[in-house]
Amino acid sequence: MKVVFLINPIAGNGRALKKWQQFKQTLSFPYEALFTEKGGHATQMVKAMHKLVEPTLLIGFGGDGTLREIIAGAAGSKSLIVGSVAAGSGNDFGRGYTSFPNAAAIQQFLEAPSFIKEDLGEFDDGAYQFASSSGIGFDAEISVLVNRSPAKKWLNKIGAGKLVYLLYVIKTLVDFKHFQLVVEEGNQRKIYDNVWFATVSNQPFFGGGMKISPNSKTDDGLMELTVVHNLSRLKLLLIFGTVFTGTHTRFKEVSQISRPEFRLTVNKSIFRHVDGDEAGKTPENKAVTYAVSKQYWQSANIAKKEELK
Ligand SMILES: Nc1ncnc2c1ncn2[C@@H]1O[C@H](COP(=O)(O)OP(=O)(O)OP(=O)(O)O)[C@@H](O)[C@H]1O
């Protein structure tokens, strides 16, 4: 099996490149290494590989955004199999799917390769795709503000990257204006008022290790919608800690449904994310369909682990 590493040098606030320089010294099998040069480049490179007939293992060396782009490119191909080495900041992909911890694990996979057909989430008729989750509201606003923050670069340089995240959590907690969400699935229609956020998940984790959707499975043909609504700021803070264990779902203010498709309508224009990266804003009062794509992608089948060691 051919092996291609796709390395995002800026992932993990630039740590991915240093990690790759050490990692490649440990590889004892033939491989090709390609570096991404800008957002969207991984998808372009992988789409061009659809003509390959030889089974090819694509290893995303980066974070959740890099993996989403590789998967968007690989979807629909029967010869491309996607694996990862966690080298991003949040690395939720490795928690919900799989991640090679070292070169020996890749070598072991190559000796008896197998794959799982996985679901790909999409909305806006496939204009946006996601492997792990896509969200509307509070969490999306925080990730957009953090990514756009001029302070992010220099705080990362001095190793205080988490501080900028914490600052924007507090700022958004104070400033955030709730919204109304209408969820339609089949003939059912449900209205949620005072919503903080709504997340459509294909795997349990988001936000760097929070178990937002404990029952999500990557290959069951379903997506789970989690809506957090009608909560005071204080209760949101109290519930926050329970998200790491997945026990937040006990609260009546956290609603979950599981379906292959939903239509979501929001009463104002607010930020969205796909796998933690900015994905425009919601249209006002216009239904957007979130669905499992008809195209599947193939993940490297190594033992599924919940947490990266
Ligand atoms: N050479 C590049 N220069 C600038 N941006 C790039 C480059 N290559 C890829 N990108 C973009 O970088 C974004 C961030 O990468 P990625 O999500 O993998 O890292 P991260 O944000 O550190 O990790 P995580 O999402 O796990 O927190 C990707 O969405 C991709 O579009």
Listed residue (257, 261, 263) closest to 216, CA to CA: 257
Total domains in the chain come to: 2
**CATH, residue 78:** 3.40.50.10330
pLDDT of residue 136: 98
Q: Which two tokens stand for residue 58?
A: 């694509």
Evaluate: CB of 204 within 6 angstroms of ligand 1. Answer: no
Over range 302-309, report the average pLDDT: 50
Evaluate: CB of 161 within 6 angstroms of ligand 1. Answer: no
What does the pLDDT look like over 126-137, one tens digit per residue?
A: 999 999 999 999
Over range 216-243, report the average pLDDT: 94
The Cβ of residue 205 has, within 10 Å, a number of other Cβ atoms equal to 29
Determine the residue of 5, 35, 36 to mutate for testing ligand 1's pocket, defined as the one with the most ligand atoms within 8 A of the Cβ atom.
36
Residue 306 lies in a domain: no
Evaluate: CB of 207 within 6 angstroms of ligand 1. Answer: no
pLDDT of residue 307: 38
Over range 108-117, report the average pLDDT: 94
- Residues 263, 159 share a domain: yes
- Residues 67, 102 share a domain: yes
Has residue 305 got a pLDDT over 60?
no
Residue 305 lies in a domain: no
Using CB atoms within 10 A of its CB, is residue 241 exposed (0-12), middle (13-18) or buried (19+)?
exposed
What does the pLDDT look like over 69-107, one tens digit per residue?
A: 999 999 999 999 999 999 998 899 999 998 999 999 999
- Residues 137, 49 share a domain: no
Listed residue (64, 59, 73) closest to 102, CA to CA: 59
Range of the domain at 189: 128-292
- Residues 188, 149 share a domain: yes
Cα 277 to ligand 1 centroid, rounded to whole Å: 8
Has residue 209 got a pLDDT over 80?
yes
What does the pLDDT look like over 183-196, one tens digit per residue?
A: 999 889 999 999 99
Give bridge partners of residue 39 from the DSSP assignment: none
Has residue 172 got a pLDDT over 60?
yes
Determine the residue of 17, 34, 66 to mutate for testing ligand 1's pocket, defined as the one with the most ligand atoms within 8 A of the Cβ atom.
66
- Residues 101, 217 share a domain: no
- Residues 114, 142 share a domain: no
The Cβ of residue 140 has, within 10 Å, a number of other Cβ atoms equal to 27
The Cα–Cα gap between 178 and 45 comes to 40
Has residue 156 got a pLDDT over 70?
no
The size of the chain, in residues, is: 309
- Residues 174, 106 share a domain: no
Residue 308 lies in a domain: no
Kindly state the DSSP code that residue 89 receives in the 8-state scheme.
Answer: S
In this structure, the residue with its CA closest to atom 1 of ligand 1 is: 37
**CATH, residue 241:** 2.60.200.40
Give the dihedral sign, CA 306/97/123/268.
positive
Listed residue (145, 235, 230, 247) closest to 196, CA to CA: 230
pTM, entire model? 0.93
pLDDT of residue 309: 35
- Residues 106, 54 share a domain: yes
Cα 110 to ligand 1 centroid, rounded to whole Å: 27
Determine the residue of 6, 10, 70, 129 to mutate for testing ligand 1's pocket, defined as the one with the most ligand atoms within 8 A of the Cβ atom.
10
What does the pLDDT look like over 9-36, one tens digit per residue?
A: 999 888 899 999 999 999 999 999 999 9
Amino acid identity, residue 16? A
- Residues 224, 104 share a domain: no
- Residues 231, 276 share a domain: yes
At 158, the pLDDT band (50, 70, 90 cuts) reads low
